[in-house]
Structure 1
Amino acid sequence: MTRVILITGASRGIGAATVRLAAQRGYAVCVNYRSSAEAARTLVAEIEQSGGRAIAVAADVALESDVIRLFRTVDNELGTLSALVNNAGILEPQADVDSMSAARLQRVFATNVFGTMLCAREAVLRMSTKRGGSGGAIVNVSSMAARLGSPHEYVDYAASKGAVDTFTIGLSKEVGDAGIRVNAVRPGLIDTDMHASGGEPGRIERLKGSVPMQRGGTADEVANAILWLLSDEASYATGTFIDVSGGR
């Protein structure tokens, strides 16, 4: 039976790299995106041309109704879900906390925290052996910001990822006896366009000197960690974290 994976925020960066690697490993892939329809369709076409199976589904994980529709689409078009990667995340332009509005905080937490929890809820409803499922694995994409705090840049983003870390631990203990493993990766300075979203495209160049390995990482390096956590090689790993940060 073909394994089915849903990857949120998957049209670019770490998400897209994870889609490609999952397809190479034999998964049927749901490429979730919020607004990058063309990139998502291009990615699906790439997978299909390589002999894999993929669909693209637009959904904003910050909206419960969208999340429910997203998972039902996977049920109907791909089949039984066996893996979820909670990758969707946003950050706002760099700022100190004393200038952050409530609206900004609500946007960041709605996607990064509530979206992660809502998607995990839907995955558990389908995977739990206590509910007739066959088990599965969830990987949450956190950030080294959860440990470093991102002062004068993205304290709100860092705090949201700290919440993801705590959620990962709690959920892993809650569903460990239901056939579901829950783990997380914490990427560091990864070469994606997310830095441009925060207003500093050259952020890696500025900060790479603080990384023991003296360079930024790649989306593929994070994807490899995610796929290992999803694999049978990690069958006794739950509630654990892999820092993909070059030692930072």
Structure 2
Amino acid sequence: MTPISDHPVLLVTGGGRGIGAATARLAAQRGYAVAVNYAHNASAAEQLVADIRADGGQAIALQADIADEAQVLRLFAAVDIQLGPLQALVNNAGVVAPPARVEAMDLARLQRMFNINVIGCFLCAREAVRRMGTRQGERNFGAGYGRGGAIVNVSSAASRLGSPDQYVDYAAAKGAIDSMTLGLAKEVALDGIRVNAVRPGLIETDIHASGGLPDRVRDLSSSVPLQRGGSALEVAHAILWLLSAEASYTTAALLDVSGGR
């Protein structure tokens, strides 16, 4: 199949809902051809792609569980074939679990938390670097690759707050993403790749309901200096800035989008 895009290519993991969906939509409006990755909710991802196309943008939906290496390889190969050389990655896919103290967390919960939120992020970053790196991309994948690019990891304000009595495992996973962002940014700077992270605070998305606390943003908004939760679009604007040429001298940054919390 001949790639359909002559626009910069962006992959958004976990792109069917919340921050990922807002990022995909905004990126398409700004001229990216967007690959919207999803794990389970095909209908949401396909509707988002339909909406982007109806607005004149380019997008495709691609299923993959990023905690599975074989599926990650399949995902990136599909982007290669259907859109062309990758220039940007937003590592957004992530999960939470119901509130629990550490002494109540079982192995299955911890493995799921770190497999998706940390290992999956590493696997996707690895495949992006292999394609974008100016010292290896063209050698590995052919003409059009190896032109540099940008990666934005979606961390969380939880990485510095710790989330006691609720999500210490989630906070620890996002702490790993912060460290990975700093180290990888320094590792691939000479490959023409910038790596940054956004750390959203209390954002109005359905991830809270998936963790058993659908009213969490409302309940905690008084603890935010700005006295409200944020929107997925507000985070998406920060992500698109970090991807853009306007942030050309920004790498290894951890950008809080948290209302001051």
Report the TM-score range of the alignment, normalised by the length of the smaller protein. Answer: over 0.9
Match of 2:201 among 176, 183, 188: 188
Match of 2:50 among 34, 42, 45: 45
Aligned residues: 248
Paired position in structure 1 for 2:18: 13
Instruction: Tell me which amino acid in the other structure corresponds to 1:70.
Output: L
Distance, in Å, in 2 between the alignment partners of 1:197 and 1:148 is 20
Distance, in Å, in 1 between the alignment partners of 2:104 and 2:254 is 32
Paired position in structure 1 for 2:253: 240
Paired position in structure 1 for 2:77: 72
Instruction: Tell me which amino acid in the other structure corresponds to 1:119.
Output: C
* Aligned pairs (5 A) from 1:190-229: 190-229=203-242
Q: Report runs of 4+ in structure 1 exceeding 4 Å deviation.
A: none
Q: In the TM superposition, what is the alpha-carbon distance from 1:143 to its structure 2 partner? A: 0.1
Paired position in structure 2 for 1:124: 129
Match of 2:92 among 87, 91, 114: 87
5+ residue gaps in structure 2? 1-5, 139-145
Paired position in structure 1 for 2:151: 138
Paired position in structure 2 for 1:158: 171
Paired position in structure 2 for 1:61: 66
Instruction: Tell me which amino acid in the other structure corresponds to 2:25.
Output: R
User: After superposition, what is the alpha-carbon deviation per residue over 1:151-207, rounded to whole angstroms, capped at 9, x for unaligned?
Assistant: 000000000000000000000000000000000000000000111111111111111
Paired position in structure 1 for 2:3: none
Instruction: Tell me which amino acid in the other structure corresponds to 1:69.
Output: R
Q: In the TM superposition, what is the alpha-carbon distance from 1:235 to its structure 2 partner? A: 0.2
User: After superposition, what is the alpha-carbon deviation per residue over 1:201-226, rounded to whole angstroms, capped at 9, x for unaligned?
Assistant: 11111111110000000000000000
- Report percent identity of matched pairs: 65
Q: TM-score by structure 1 length? A: 0.99
Instruction: Tell me which amino acid in the other structure corresponds to 1:206.
Output: D
SS at match of 2:89: strand
Q: TM-score by structure 2 length? A: 0.94
Distance, in Å, in 1 between the alignment partners of 2:19 and 2:221 is 19
Paired position in structure 1 for 2:244: 231
Q: In the TM superposition, what is the alpha-carbon distance from 1:241 to its structure 2 partner? A: 1.3
Instruction: Tell me which amino acid in the other structure corresponds to 2:27.
Output: A
Instruction: Tell me which amino acid in the other structure corresponds to 2:126.
Output: R
